[in-house]
Amino acid sequence: MSVTIHRTGLNKTTGQQSDAIVTDNLVGDFQPNAGIESAYWDNQKSGQNNLRRFNSITHNNSAPHNFQFDGTDDYLGAASGSYGGDPFNVNAANAFTLAQWVKYNAVNHFAFVLTNGSSESIVLDLNSSTSNKAEVTVTSTNYSVSAATTFNFTFADDSWYYIALTHDGAGNYKFYVNGSFVGSSGIGRCADNGALEIGKSGSSYTGAGTKVGHIHVYSAALTNSQIRQNVLASHKTHSDRTYGGLGVEGG
């Protein structure tokens, strides 16, 4: 007796069947091949705010579509007026998830910065000075926190990764790479809303050549399986959503 294994069933068995990103609690869906306006990046989640394109940051239209930083002053940040509307804020005191596809270039990359000024901020950067590992820094005057922790994953030069940082709302963070759990830290939380910036922290900017693709933001701490679902849904081999970390190398 022969047994026929259908591709769909096989995909489900091996964990490869995932057609869509997680939509529950999704507040930021920034797709690198959609909503690319001259002055801002349009949020594909209806009713949510956009990210402004500062200093003519370059958008690459070839697959995989992405934004590329020049190492001088490029970043994505708080929109205003004709530059995409009100700022895109994340309540740093509550649960959240920040995730992005990034092509690491062996330079400091400010992946996510939530800030309302100098007194309250959460910064996730991929840091060449910490041996190409990720570091999260929390600064809060209200909660008397000024601490940083480094996650034990080494990023390779010129490679794409899907990175995700979750916060449970009580000062505890988890960090994932390509859908796999890397580490956790309970270093504390901030007090209130912070405008989202990518590529800039204070007066420092992401190094030249780093690229950013799909960005996902949630008002909840996603589980490991949900993050893995997003990796599979936004990374499809042999398509314009291919990013090099998990398959055919992207540009």
pLDDT tens digit sequence for 148-197: 999 999 999 998 999 999 999 999 999 999 999 999 999 999 998 899 99
* Structural domains in the chain (count): 1
Confidence of residue 10 (pLDDT cuts 50, 70, 90): very low
Q: How far is CA 51 from the centre of its chain?
A: 13
The pLDDT, as a whole number, for residue 62 is: 82
Within-domain flag for 187: yes
Decide which of 3 and 94 is more confident: 94
Give percent above pLDDT 70 in the chain: 86
Query: At 94, which CATH number?
Result: 2.60.120.200
Average pLDDT of the chain to the nearest whole number = 87
CA–CA separation, 76 vs 50, rounded Å? Answer: 10
Give percent above pLDDT 90 in the chain: 77
Cα 180–Cα 183–Cα 185 angle in degrees, nearest 5: 145
Within-domain flag for 240: yes
The pLDDT, as a whole number, for residue 187 is: 95
Q: Which domain holds residue 241?
A: 21-246
Q: What is the pLDDT of residues 204-224, one digit of tens each?
A: 999 999 999 999 999 999 999
Within-domain flag for 173: yes
CA–CA separation, 42 vs 115, rounded Å? Answer: 21
Within-domain flag for 5: no
Within-domain flag for 150: yes
pLDDT (mean) for 126-138: 94
- Indicate the SS3 state at residue 226: helix
* Residues facing residue 28 across a β-bridge: 217
Within-domain flag for 230: yes
Within-domain flag for 2: no
The pLDDT, as a whole number, for residue 64 is: 81
Within-domain flag for 10: no
3: pLDDT strictly greater than 60: no
36: pLDDT strictly greater than 90: yes
pLDDT (mean) for 110-114: 97
pTM for this predicted structure: 0.89
